[in-house]
């Protein structure tokens, strides 16, 4: 499957999510949760903005460089708000969004196939903690890698190229975070699932491109499990296509 297939599946999932009451409710819960956590985290960080600024650069007495200190203060505020948004996403994703995502994936699979296929080798509660365990590397490693690349772009003359690479990696891993839900629920080995990702990079890049649209990306991220599950189910029925 190619890049345009990825975009199409994301849009199909959003349409199905908005038309299905249970999926719509769960998607809205994810949106509200991320917004609330971001506001709380940003408020907490900005409340200590002056203390953080003082640790990095004390207010200069010279009027000649005071303006530069004010510019740095505003820049630091923007960076802190951005970091609070990233941290809020990580916290919500690991603590409870993985449960919501799994439920959205289950609802979608049952609606399409009439049942939910999963491993019966372990109890449901143990399976839930297994999903959380899988979510930690799927979520934290891509985000940390992206932040590292962004920092590298600032410190090297290859900033625009690094920015493109980091954006592509972020979209691919965010897409995989959703397409991996059903295979993880079936307890397929991590190595096998990662190899599947490597063999379908154009699809995942396309699926994740919509996550780059400002504001609307929250909407697409919240309903992404639906389109990702549609993709997994239909891919199973056509094992020779990629």
Share of the chain above pLDDT 70, in %: 73
How high does pLDDT run on average in the chain? 79
3-state SS class at 188? coil
Spatial CB neighbours of 6, under 8 Å, sequence gap ≥ 6: 175, 202, 203, 204, 205, 206, 207, 208, 209
Q: Counting beta carbons within 10 angstroms of the beta carbon of residue 218, is it exposed (0 to 12), middle (13 to 18) or buried (19 or more)? A: middle
Residue 50: inside a domain: no
Residue 88: inside a domain: no
**pTM for this structure?**
0.73
What pLDDT does 25 receive? 94
Residue 110: inside a domain: yes
Q: What kind and span of H or E run contains 75?
A: helix 63-92
Poorest-confidence range of 34-43, 114-123, 145-154, 229-238? 145-154
d(CA 239, CA 242): 8
Residue 229: inside a domain: yes
Residue 184: inside a domain: yes
C-alpha distances (whole Å) from 91 to each of 37, 54, 107, 149, 182 are 9, 28, 24, 21, 22
Q: 1 falls in which pLDDT band (50, 70, 90)?
A: low
Spatial CB neighbours of 81, under 8 Å, sequence gap ≥ 6: 42, 45, 46
Which structural domain, as residue segments, surrounds residue 185?
A: 3-37+96-235
Number of domains in the chain: 1
d(CA 196, CA 68): 49
CA 163 to chain centre: 17
Residue 63: inside a domain: no
């Amino acid at each position: 499957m190619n890049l345009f297939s990825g975009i199409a599946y994301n849009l199909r999932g959003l349409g199905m999510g908005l038309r299905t009451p249970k999926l719509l409710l769960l998607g809205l819960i994810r949106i509200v949760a991320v917004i609330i956590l971001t506001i709380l985290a940003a408020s907490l960080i900005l409340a200590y903005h002056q203390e953080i600024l003082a640790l990095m650069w004390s207010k200069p007495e010279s009027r000649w460089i005071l303006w530069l200190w004010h510019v740095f203060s505003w820049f630091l505020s923007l960076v802190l708000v951005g970091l609070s948004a990233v941290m809020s996403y990580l916290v919500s994703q690991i603590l409870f969004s993985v449960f919501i995502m799994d439920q959205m994936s289950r609802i979608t699979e049952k609606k399409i196939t009439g049942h939910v296929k999963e491993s019966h080798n372990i109890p449901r509660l143990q399976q839930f903690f297994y999903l959380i365990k899988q979510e930690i590397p799927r979520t934290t490693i891509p985000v940390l890698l992206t932040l590292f690349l962004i920092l590298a772009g600032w410190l090297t003359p290859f900033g625009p190229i690094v920015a493109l690479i980091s954006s592509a990696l972020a979209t691919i891993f965010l897409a995989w975070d959703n397409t991996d839900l059903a295979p993880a629920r079936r307890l397929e080995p991590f190595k096998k699932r990662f190899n599947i990702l490597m063999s379908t990079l154009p699809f995942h890049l396309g699926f994740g491109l919509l996550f780059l649209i400002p504001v609307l990306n929250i909407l697409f991220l919240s309903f992404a499990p639906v389109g990702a599950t549609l993709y997994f189910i239909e891919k199973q029925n056509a094992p020779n296509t990629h």
